[in-house]
Structure 1
């Protein structure tokens, strides 16, 4: 599946927004590394979101 709403977590990895928000509601660690996160601030991955939109427009 292609991501719909990519966001970057403090671990530097990009996740589907709903999935990472659900994870962070119960965890203080990275789902990728299992290391503690310094905070729970999420940032939209606009570059990836734009690339996904462009890909979808060409492939759907």
Structure 2
């Protein structure tokens, strides 16, 4: 995951993936299948930092 964002269901998704899900006309959570209260996406900076740190500690390039 390179660009994690939180949706209204509280789950984090790769931005491109959740945007595509919404673009396809879905208004439900991919995880719960419940209707999303809104389609605003918020960047998950904490998760992004944790992923970057994990890659750096292992000397792995980010995907």
TM-score by length of 1: 0.92
How many residue pairs are counted as aligned between the two chains?
A: 58
Q: Give secondary structure in 2 for the equivalent of 1:54.
A: helix
Aligned to 1:18: 16
Moved over 4 A (4+): none
Q: Secondary structure, in 3 states, of the residue corresponding to 1:15? A: strand
Structure 2 gap ranges (5+): none
In the superposition, the TM-score normalised over structure 2's length comes to 0.88
